Amino acid sequence: MLGLAGRPGWDTARVNDLGLSYFEDYVPGATYEVGSVSVDQASIVAFAKEFDPQPFHVDPVAAAAGPYGGLIASGWHTAALVMRVLVRNYLSAESSLGSPGMDEIRWLYPVRPGDTLRVRATVTEARRSLSKPDRGIVKTLIEAVDQDGQTVMRATGINFVRARAAPQTPDVGP
Amino acid sequence: MLGLAGRPGWDTARVNDLGLSYFEDYVPGATYEVGSVSVDQASIVAFAKEFDPQPFHVDPVAAAAGPYGGLIASGWHTAALVMRVLVRNYLSAESSLGSPGMDEIRWLYPVRPGDTLRVRATVTEARRSLSKPDRGIVKTLIEAVDQDGQTVMRATGINFVRARAAPQTPDVGP
Of residues A75, A83, A99, nearest to B99 (C-beta):
A75
How would you classify the pairing of strands A31-38 and A135-145? Answer: unpaired
Classified by CATH at the fold level, domain A14-89+96-162 comes out as Thiol Ester Dehydrase; Chain A (3.10.129)
Chain-chain contact of A84 with B56 (C-beta, under 8 angstroms): no
Asked if residues B3 and B25 have their Cβ atoms less than 8 Å apart, the reply is no
Backbone dihedral region for residue A29 (phi beyond 0: left; psi -120 to 50: alpha; all else: beta): left
The B residues from 72 to 101 touching A (CB cutoff 8 Å) are 72, 74-76, 79-81, 83-84, 87, 91, 93, 96-101
Reported as a pLDDT band with limits 50, 70 and 90, residue A145 is very high
Closest CA to B98 of A39, A75, A111: A75
Q: What is the complex's ipTM, to 2 decimals?
A: 0.89
* Predicted local distance difference test score (pLDDT) of residue A166: 74
Rounded to whole angstroms, the maximal C-alpha distance in chain B is 74
Reported as a pLDDT band with limits 50, 70 and 90, residue B170 is low
Average pLDDT, chain A: 90
Domain range list for chain B: 14-89+96-162
Helix axes A41-51, A75-89, angle to 10 degrees: 110
Reported in sequence order, the residue ranges of chain A that DSSP labels E, i.e. its strands, are 31-38, 101-107, 116-128, 135-145, 151-162
Task: Identify the residue among B37, B54, B92, B117 best suited for mutation to test binding to A, counting A beta carbons within 10 A and taking the highest.
Answer: B54
Tell whether B67 is within 8 A of chain A (Cβ). yes
A121 beta partners: A32, A142
Reported as a pLDDT band with limits 50, 70 and 90, residue A54 is very high
- Name the 3-class secondary structure at A159: strand
Which ranges constitute the DSSP H helices of B11-162? 41-51, 55-58, 60-64, 75-89
Chain B closest-CA separation from residue A108 CA (Å): 6
Of residues A52, A84, A103, nearest to B83 (C-beta):
A52
Chain B closest-CA separation from residue A94 CA (Å): 9
Say what the pTM is.
0.89
Burial of B103 (0-12, 13-18, 19+ CB in 10 A): middle
Average pLDDT, chain B: 90
Chain-chain contact of A54 with B87 (C-beta, under 8 angstroms): yes
pLDDT, tens digit (0-9, with 9 covering 90-100), for B47-95: 999 999 999 999 999 999 999 999 999 999 999 999 999 999 999 988 9
